[in-house]
């Protein structure tokens, strides 16, 4: 039975996991620190890497414009790794967690 519901999406300068039910908010707060979840070190490192990489997408000198250094290949690679990380999250967190795959919208 699902106890915690989290949303998975990347936010500028933030995390990629967000509580979506009362039990999750009580246990983890709204922005969830993946370091405090029962995840493998490899997955924690991947999530940290993806967040840092995601943040390079924006041109911080002309926010919210895209960075002139972000290429279509970057987008393809980021999306593949983001999907892989999502699949790993679902596997590693198990039945106590439901992870909603979101595309950045506040739904």
Q: What are the structural domain ranges in the chain? A: 4-101
Residues with Cβ within 8 Å of residue 49, at least 6 apart in sequence: none
63 or 82: which carries more pLDDT confidence? 82
- Model pLDDT for residues 18-76, shown as the tens digit of each residue: 999 999 999 999 999 999 999 999 999 999 999 998 888 877 777 677 778 888 898 89
Band of pLDDT at residue 106, cut at 50, 70 and 90: very low
The number of beta carbons lying within 10 Å of the beta carbon of residue 24 is 21
Lowest pLDDT segment from 7-11, 26-30, 64-68, 99-103: 64-68
Look at residue 105 and tell me whether its pLDDT is greater than 60.
no
């Amino acid at each position: 039975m699902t106890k915690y519901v989290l949303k998975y999406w990347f936010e500028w300068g933030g995390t990629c996991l967000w509580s979506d039910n009362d039990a999750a908010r009580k246990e983890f707060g709204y922005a969830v620190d993946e370091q405090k979840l029962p995840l493998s070190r490899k997955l924690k490192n991947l999530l940290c890497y993806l967040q840092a990489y995601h943040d390079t997408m924006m041109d911080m000198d002309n926010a919210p414009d895209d960075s002139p250094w972000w290429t279509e290949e970057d987008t393809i690679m980021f999306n593949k790794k983001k999907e892989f990380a999502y699949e790993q999250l679902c596997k590693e967190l198990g039945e106590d967690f439901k992870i909603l795959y979101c595309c950045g919208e506040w739904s």
